[in-house]
């Protein structure tokens, strides 16, 4: 019987964890301030585990290093490699003695950790088959084999069928060499092509194996707690009811793993899964991780009706297609107590949306959706990207002007990141637009530099827009909704407790609401931070804030 150990590396690199930049959220531990580690339940791993167990007697276990890091009170290791080795060397893991180790990596900030974990596992479990899957191995197999000799193979795209074949194989190394969904060093050197092996009917996958993780440990997920409307942490669990996305947004790479063709769980299966999550795990909030939940609008209505019957609410971190958010759909979402929606506008420039992003969105739709949400009492959190190749400073100024007119509650301004497998990365590499390394980049670290802008300009402009749209020109504050504006400002302070500008505008809200004591306290905090911090003093002066 095979024993499989799934490992999820940290979704942050070591340097950004131990020395978080000034423009990102951080968490305080006994040994200092650290970068925030996102703790999303790894649905891909849970699907793999469920599928393999359905067809074999294999045993599976999971180590999610994001959870391990989040639970630590302090961190004294000199590297993640040292941390991994210390964790995996304990007798309990040696006694488990996995025969297959599968490392799951979605995004490039995990790249070095993938290599370090593989090296640790090769040293500690020398007889194990070591493989990896996800977006990084699918798109970076050349780099991985260049930088590491520890992997027996890498999975190309989705892994349920390839992993099941590996578990069933008598000669596992031979199987890896013969199956076209497994990438090996030898195949790369000989120039062989690789193939996806999708499950067309997703109902073939059993109910996800949530039992291999402690679901309660994911309750402190910063992904959810970062949003203003989340008043209390109800028990939440993510699901995926579909795979694939037919759109061709230049910044996205999900198609390299899941393809562009939409595949679905049946409505009956969705009902069964949601009922199981409610009854077995006491779930109140379903986090839909579908890349394109609104591809079939009628199906979306049917799922919402199931949610209403089960008295469940939902959260959509991957955003919803704005073209589908008409008044009827928004009212349906409101009926299951959805109080916040992430609007994936991505740009406030029609030219950028159509000519650069290839995103099927007209800005006229944006105003209608944002206005309807405000009327229905749905908090709107807008995602924006700046710094794509082909974008100009004029485009960014056009977007800036437009975004001030939609009266959304909050804006999340990110720098465009060249994800491996995306058209954006291909363009950047072809035109030599990458400054530094795209492997360690994230949505707060600009690495793209073109004839129109520098990486430093994009980095600075992203934070400038964040401060201007969310604080100086805050829509709720301008409309006199001081209680709502205050929630956003307080949430910013919770995420970054030295936020001088958030303290200032929170003080203004308390003043408007008649709490002069709290207003004076917050204003004093703002003045003290601005006086002591050159970082905040720069922005206080830039916006002429009178403190």
Does 310 share its domain with 351?
yes
Helices (H), 10-134: 14-18, 43-55, 65-71, 80-88, 91-96, 111-124
Please tell me whether residues 67 and 183 are part of one structural domain: yes
- CA 535 remoteness from chain centre: 27
Q: Max alpha carbon distance in the chain (Å)?
A: 74
* Any domain includes 531: yes
Helix/strand/coil percent split, the chain, to 5: 50, 15, 35
231 φ/ψ angles, rounded to the nearest 5 degrees:
-80, -30
* Shared-domain flag, residues 416 and 499: no
Asked if residue 223 is part of any domain, the answer here is no
**pLDDT value, residue 227:** 53
CB distance 446 to 415 below 8 Å: yes
Q: Which of 128, 163, 190 is the last residue of a domain?
A: 190
Give the C-alpha separation, 380 to 382, whole Å: 6
Give the residue from 452, 472, 492 where a domain finishes. 472
Q: Determine the pLDDT at residue 220.
A: 56
Does a structural domain hold residue 222?
no
Rg (alpha carbons) of the chain, rounded to whole number: 24
The pLDDT score that the predictor gives to residue 23 is 65
What's the structural domain count of the chain? 3
Both 453 and 329 in one domain: the answer is yes
Residue 31 has a pLDDT of 75
Q: Indicate whether 301 and 268 sit together in one domain.
A: yes
The contacts of residue 330 (CB under 8 Å, 6+ apart) are 369, 372, 373, 376, 378
**Residue 325 included in any domain:** yes
Q: Which residues contact 165 (CB under 8 A, 6 or more apart)?
A: 175, 179
Q: In terms of domains, do 145 and 49 share one?
A: yes
> The domain spanning residue 432 has which CATH number?
3.80.30.20
By CB neighbour count within 10 A (0-12 exposed, 13-18 middle, 19+ buried), where does 538 fall?
exposed
295 and 315 co-located in one domain: yes
pLDDT at residue 218, rounded to an integer: 83
Kindly report the CATH number assigned to the domain that includes residue 494: 1.25.40.10
Q: Is residue 275 part of a domain?
A: yes
Q: Which of 409, 444, 472 is the last residue of a domain?
A: 472
Q: What is the pLDDT along the chain (547 residues), one digit of tens a residue?
A: 899 999 999 998 889 888 887 766 777 777 778 888 888 899 999 999 999 999 999 999 999 999 999 988 889 899 999 999 999 999 999 999 999 999 999 889 999 999 999 999 999 999 999 999 999 999 999 999 999 999 999 999 999 999 999 999 999 999 999 999 999 999 999 999 999 999 999 999 999 999 999 888 886 555 555 555 555 557 889 999 999 999 899 999 999 999 999 999 999 999 999 999 999 999 999 999 999 999 999 999 999 999 999 999 999 987 788 989 999 999 999 999 999 999 999 999 999 999 999 988 889 899 999 999 999 999 999 999 999 999 999 999 999 999 999 999 999 999 999 999 999 999 999 999 999 888 877 778 899 999 999 999 999 999 999 999 999 999 999 999 999 999 999 999 998 889 999 999 999 999 999 999 999 999 999 999 999 999 999 999 999 999 8
Its sign, for the CA torsion 262, 264, 267, 272, is: negative
State whether 46 and 147 are in the same domain. Answer: yes
The reply to whether 217 falls in a domain is no
Provide the residue range defining the domain that includes 170: 3-190
- Backbone φ and ψ for 343, nearest 5 degrees, come out as -100, 110
Coil/strand/helix, residue 64 = strand
Q: Look-up: residue for tokens 């009492």?
A: 377
- pTM > 0.85: yes
Residue 318 lies in a domain: yes
Pair 429, 478 in one domain: no
| Residues 231, 229: Cα–Cα separation, whole Å | 6
Q: Residue 205 domain-assigned?
A: no
Domain shared by 316 and 182, yes or no: no
Say what the pLDDT of residue 225 is.
Answer: 53
Query: Within this chain, do residues 67 and 142 fall inside the same structural domain, yes or no?
Result: yes
> Helix/strand/coil (H, E, C) string of 465-513?
HHHHHHHHCCHHHHCCCHHHHHHHHHHHHHHCCCCHHHHHHHHHHHHHH
* CATH code of the domain containing 73: 3.40.50.280
Q: Domain check: are 508 and 455 in the same one?
A: no
Tell me if 412 sits within 8 A of 381, measured CB to CB. Answer: yes
């Amino acid at each position: 019987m095979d024993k499989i150990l799934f490992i999820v590396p940290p979704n942050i690199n070591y340097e950004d964890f131990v020395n978080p930049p000034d423009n990102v959220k951080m968490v305080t531990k006994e040994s200092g301030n650290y970068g925030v580690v996102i703790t999303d339940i790894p649905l891909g791993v849970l699907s793999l585990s469920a599928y393999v167990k359905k067809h074999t007697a294999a045993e599976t276990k999971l180590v999610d290093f994001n959870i391990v890091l989040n639970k630590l009170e302090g961190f004294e290791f000199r590297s993640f490699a040292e941390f991994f080795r210390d964790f995996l060397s304990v007798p309990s893991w040696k006694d488990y003695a996995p025969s297959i180790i599968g490392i799951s990596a979605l995004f490039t900030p995990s790249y070095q950790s993938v290599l370090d974990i593989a090296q640790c596992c090769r040293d500690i479990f020398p007889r194990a088959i070591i493989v990896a899957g996800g977006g990084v191995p699918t798109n970076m197999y050349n780099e991985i084999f260049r930088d590491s000799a520890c992997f027996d193979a890498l999975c190309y795209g989705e892994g349920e069928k390839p992993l099941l074949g590996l578990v069933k194989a008598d000669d596992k190394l031979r199987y890896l060499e013969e199956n076209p969904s497994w990438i090996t060093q030898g195949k790369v050197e000989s120039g062989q092509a690789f193939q996806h092996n999708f499950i067309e009917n997703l109902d073939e996958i059993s109910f996800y194996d949530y039992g291999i993780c402690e679901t309660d440990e994911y309750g402190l997920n910063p992904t959810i707690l970062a949003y203003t409307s989340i008043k209390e942490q109800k028990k939440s669990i993510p699901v995926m009811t579909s795979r694939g996305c037919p759109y061709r947004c230049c910044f996205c790479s999900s198609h390299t793993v899941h393809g562009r063709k939409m595949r679905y769980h049946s409505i009956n299966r969705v009902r069964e899964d949601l009922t199981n999550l409610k009854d077995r795990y006491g779930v109140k909030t379903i986090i839909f991780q579908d890349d394109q939940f609104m591809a079939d609008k009628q199906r979306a209505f049917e799922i919402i009706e199931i949610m209403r019957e089960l008295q469940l609410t939902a959260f959509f971190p991957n955003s919803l297609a704005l073209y589908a958010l008409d008044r009827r759909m928004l009212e349906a979402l409101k009926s299951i107590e959805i109080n916040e929606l992430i609007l994936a506008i991505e740009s406030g420039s029609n030219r950028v949306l159509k000519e650069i992003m290839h995103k099927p969105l007209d800005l006229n739709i944006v105003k209608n959706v944002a206005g309807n949400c405000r009327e229905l009492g749905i908090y709107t959190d807008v995602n924006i990207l700046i710094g794509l190749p082909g974008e100009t400073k004029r485009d960014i100024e056009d977007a800036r002007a437009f975004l001030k007119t939609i009266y959304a509650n909050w804006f999340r301004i990110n720098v465009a990141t060249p994800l491996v497998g995306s058209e954006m990365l291909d363009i950047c590499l072809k035109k030599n637009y990458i400054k530094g390394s795209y492997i360690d980049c994230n949505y707060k670290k600009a690495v793209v530099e073109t004839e129109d802008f520098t990486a430093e300009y994009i980095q600075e402009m992203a934070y400038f827009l964040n401060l201007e749209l969310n604080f100086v020109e805050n829509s709720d504050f301008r409309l006199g909704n001081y209680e709502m504006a205050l929630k956003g400002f307080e949430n910013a302070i919770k995420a970054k407790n030295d936020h001088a500008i958030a303290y200032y505008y929170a003080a203004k809200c308390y003043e408007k609401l008649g709490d002069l004591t709290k207003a004076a306290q917050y204003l004093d905090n703002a003045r003290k931070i601005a006086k002591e911090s050159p970082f905040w003093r720069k922005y206080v002066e830039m916006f002429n804030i009178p403190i």
